[in-house]
Structures are given as structure tokens and as C-alpha cells.
Structure 1
Amino acid sequence: MRLYLPATLDDLDPDADGAVTLTPRVAHAVTPALRAALPDEDEEGLEFSAHLAAADDSLALVGESADAPPLRLVVIVDVPPEAVREAGSLDAGPSAVELVTRVGRDAIACVHVDEPALREDVRAALAGDEAAAERVADADLLWYDVAELGELPR
């Protein structure tokens, strides 16, 4: 199952053994609830909607971590269905699911991250600047292959 994990760049830091491991968290996916909420969307549109929800959640994660670089990050992973369960909160949105297991680098398909020029807008959005929040929401995240994790902007 393909998941869109909201994350911070710190989540991709390798541990002492050099491994990248992502912890259980609320993630986003193309769920039956998302299909019902957006009945006219094709598969690509549904995937993009789940991706956007993860980007929004990533902004919140950045705001919760004083040390995280001020860039949104969405990590796209492929996991077996048993690694996922329905999200317990209705507030999480129709694409929300729970990743219930840890996943390693081998599950990562790719990542999307804000371009470095967006740093100040991310900081301003987190401080309550609505114009900056709109610019952040309108900005496309840049695609990186899993082989390029060491090259992500910080």
C-alpha cells in the first residue's frame, strides 16, 4: 500500500548504525473515504490529494519541532496492508490512516521537499502570517529519488 508520510527532514537522519527508520504515525493514502469525498477525481488526483494532506501535516510537524529545518517533507513509502490501519480520528481527514509499524529506507519510494527558498515563508506561516501560509500551500514540493536522500536541502 502506498502511503504519504508527513515528516521533517530530521526524520531522515540515519541512526548510529547508518539506518533510516521512520516511526509509526498518521499518514495519508487513497482510502475508500477519500474516494467517496472526491468521486469525480481519477487515481492521480486522489494520490495528489493524499500528498497535499501529508504536506499540510508536515508543516504542523515542523512547527512542533524547534530543531527541524523549516521545510515540509513528504516521504512516499510502500508498505504491506498489515502495516496500516484506519485512522482513529475523524478530524484527520478522509485520506488519513495510521502507519502502525516502523519502516526502513527500503520501503521509501521517493520523497518530496520544499525548495530552500521557501524557508522564510514556512517560518512566517508557522508564526501566523496568512499570506505566507498561502504561498507555502501553493508551492510545489521537489521530487527526490531515494538514492538522493543525502542531497536533500536542509
Structure 2
Amino acid sequence: MPVVRIYLPIGRRELDALATTGSLDASEADPRPAFAVTDALRGRAPGLDLEELEYAAFSDAVAAAASARARRGHRRVVAAADADPGWLSPRDGASVTAVHLVRAVPVNRVASFHVDEDEGQGESSGGDELLWYDVTELDEVRRLLS
């Protein structure tokens, strides 16, 4: 079955839940915002390859991660995960990469975390150069946010 790489802006609360429950919660009743390569994105950028399209979705997630921080100046965090297409629904009126995640993502579907190197990074520039952490480094990422 094909999967879709999604990018989820998350904060400390979601990282703690992932460590304790083994999943990032989402449901039809309580969808989680996410970003992915969508048909709308492909239609707007027909000449881009998959890597370039995924970077566009990742960049939108990084921008959204600023609002997931506990307070201004904290690090932005984006989780990259592989979702079944049926776990996603479109978000009307949002970015062409925006989707709703409507099913919980188990930790074995999380590929990596992307985290600001320093607190407050990206405050003025909005840059999306984040450090990469493997999913097995979840506890280290949680420590960075303490």
C-alpha cells in the first residue's frame, strides 16, 4: 500500500504523548494539521520532482511549527511520518500543502524529527534549516525542549 510523507508541526506536549502512548493522536472528530505533497501542489508546480515538492510541504510545516511552540523563542519541531492516504483529508482555504490528519500516527510510522538548533532560531528570518533527529532519538529531542 502506498504511503504519503507528512510533516507535522508539534510541541513538547505531543512529544511527551508520543513517548508515553506510542502515537501522535488525531481523529475525525479532532483532526491534526499536517502538510504533504497534494494534488493541488502538483498542479501548481508541474515541473518539480518529488523531493522539491516534499521540501515545499516541509517548509510550510516549519512555518506552522512556530505557533506550536510553548512560547515565543522556543524551538520549532516538525515530525516527518508516513501516513496511509486514507488518514488524510484536505484543509479547505489553507496552503496547497495543508491536510488534516484524521487518524493517530504510531511511532513506527514516524521517520524523523526536525528541530531548531537554538531557541529563537527562525524568529526573524523564518528559515527552515533545522537539525535532523532519527525517531530513535525521541528522548534527546524531548530534552532539547525542556
TM-score by length of 1: 0.78
Question: Which ranges of structure 1 fall in alignment gaps of 5 or more residues?
Answer: 126-131
Verify the 8 A CA contact 1:27 1:99 in the aligned structure 2: yes
What is the number of equivalent residue pairs in this alignment?
Answer: 135
Verify the 8 A CA contact 1:12 1:21 in the aligned structure 2: no
After TM superposition, list the pairs within 5 Å mapping 1:74-113 onto structure 2.
Answer: 74-87=78-91, 89-90=92-93, 92-113=94-115
CA distance in 2, matches of 1:80, 1:13: 23
Letter in 2 for 1:44: E
Q: Does 1:6 find its partner at 2:5? A: no
**1:105-135 deviation digits (Å, cap 9, x = unpaired):** 111011111112xx1345xx3xxxxxx2x1x
Letter in 1 for 2:33: V
Letter in 2 for 1:141: L
Verify the 8 A CA contact 2:75 2:120 in the aligned structure 1: no
In the TM superposition, what is the alpha-carbon distance from 1:23 to its structure 2 partner?
Answer: 2.4
Letter in 2 for 1:81: P
Task: Give the ranges of 4+ consecutive aligned residues of structure 1 lying more than 6 Å apart after TM superposition.
Answer: none
| Match of residue 115 from structure 1 | 117
Question: Which ranges of structure 2 fall in alignment gaps of 5 or more residues?
Answer: 27-31
| Match of residue 127 from structure 2 | 138
Verify the 8 A CA contact 2:81 2:111 in the aligned structure 1: yes
Q: CA RMSD in A?
A: 2.1
**1:45-95 deviation digits (Å, cap 9, x = unpaired):** 100000000011111222xx44x98111110111212111112x21x2001
CA distance in 2, matches of 1:69, 1:13: 20
Percent identity for Structure 1 against Structure 2: 34
After TM superposition, list the pairs within 5 Å mapping 1:46-85 onto structure 2.
Answer: 46-62=53-69, 65-66=70-71, 70-85=74-89
TM-score by length of 2: 0.82
| Match of residue 129 from structure 1 | none
Higher helix share: 1
